[in-house]
Amino acid sequence: MARPSVESTAGVLSVDRRVRRWQWRIFGIAWLAYASFYLCRVNLAVALPVIRADLSWDSRTAGLVGSAFLWVYALGQLVNGVLGQRANARWFVGVGMLVSALCNVAFGSASALPLMIILWALNGWVQSMGWGPIIKTIHSWFDPRRRGRIAALFSPCFVLGHLTAWAAGGWLVSRFGWRYAFWLPASVFGGVALVWVVGIRPTPQAAGFAATSERVDPPSVSIAHTLGSLLAQPRLRWAALICILSSMIKDGLTLWAPTMLVDAWQMPVEGAALAASAVPLLGLAGSLLAGWATDRFFRSHEMPGVAGLSLILAAAMAGFLLLPGDKDLWVAVLLLGLSGMAAYGINALLLTSLPLSFGAPAAVAGFLDFSSYVGGGISALVAGQLLARGSWDAVYGYWLAATLLAAFVAVASQRRIAAAMP
- Domain enclosing residue 302, as ranges: 222-422
Inside any domain, residue 389 = yes
- Residue 104's pLDDT band, with cuts at 50, 70 and 90, is very high
Mean pLDDT is lowest, of 22-36, 185-199, 254-268, for 254-268
**Cα(338)–Cα(333) distance, integer angstroms:** 9
Residue 358: the pLDDT is: 66
Quote the CA–CA distance of 220 and 228 in Å, as a whole number: 15
Number of other residues whose CB lies within 10 A of the CB of residue 16: 10
- Is the model's pLDDT at 110 over the cut of 90? yes
Distance CA(56)–CA(50), nearest Å, equals 10
Q: What is the pLDDT at residue 409? A: 86
**Higher per-residue pLDDT: 226 or 158:** 158
Report the alpha-carbon distance of residue 70 to residue 125 in Å, rounded.
Answer: 9
Chain mean pLDDT for the chain: 81
> What total of structural domains would you count in the chain?
2
The predicted pLDDT at position 5 comes to 44
Q: Please determine, for residue 231, whether its predicted confidence score (pLDDT) is greater than 60.
A: yes
| Total-model pTM | 0.75
Backbone angles phi, psi at 166, to 5 degrees: -70, -45
Task: Let me know if residue 215 belongs to a domain.
Answer: no
Tell me, what's the pLDDT at 422? 45
- Which contacts (CB < 8 Å, 24+ apart) does range 290-296 have? 290/345, 290/346, 290/348, 290/349, 291/348, 291/349, 291/352, 291/353, 294/349, 294/353
Give whole-number Cα distances, 112 to 51, 67, 103, 144, 402, in Å: 12, 17, 14, 48, 34
Region of poorest pLDDT, from 9-23, 153-167, 168-182, 225-239: 9-23
**In the prediction, which pLDDT does 9 show?**
37
pLDDT at 315 over 80: yes
- Whether residue 114 is contained in a domain is answered as yes
C-beta of residue 358 within 8 angstroms of C-beta of residue 55: no
Q: What is the pLDDT of residue 177?
A: 93
Residues 119 and 267 in one domain: no
CATH number at residue 352: 1.20.1250.20
Q: Is the pLDDT of residue 6 over 70?
A: no
Residues 338 and 196 in one domain: no
Residue 172 scores a pLDDT above 90: yes
Q: Residue 1's pLDDT band (boundaries 50, 70, 90)?
A: very low
Considering the domain boundaries, does residue 298 fall inside one?
Answer: yes
Query: How far is C-alpha 132 from the geometric centre of its chain's CA atoms?
Result: 12
The CA distance from 360 to 276, in Å, is 36
Question: What whole-number percentage of the chain has pLDDT above 70?
Answer: 80
pLDDT digits (tens, 9 = 90+) for 263-307: 888 888 878 888 888 888 888 787 777 766 666 665 656 777 788
Residue 2 pLDDT level (bands cut at 50, 70, 90): very low
Residue 198 and residue 124 share a domain: yes
Among 204, 231, 263, give the residue marking a domain's end: 204
Compare 86 and 114 and report the one with higher pLDDT. Answer: 114
pLDDT at residue 11 is higher than 70: no
Does residue 8 lie within any of the structural domains? no
Q: Domain check: are 186 and 239 in the same one?
A: no
Same structural domain, 363 and 336: yes
* Cβ neighbours around 292 below 10 Å, total: 11
Same domain as 380, residue 296: yes
- Whether residue 228 sits in one domain with residue 169: no
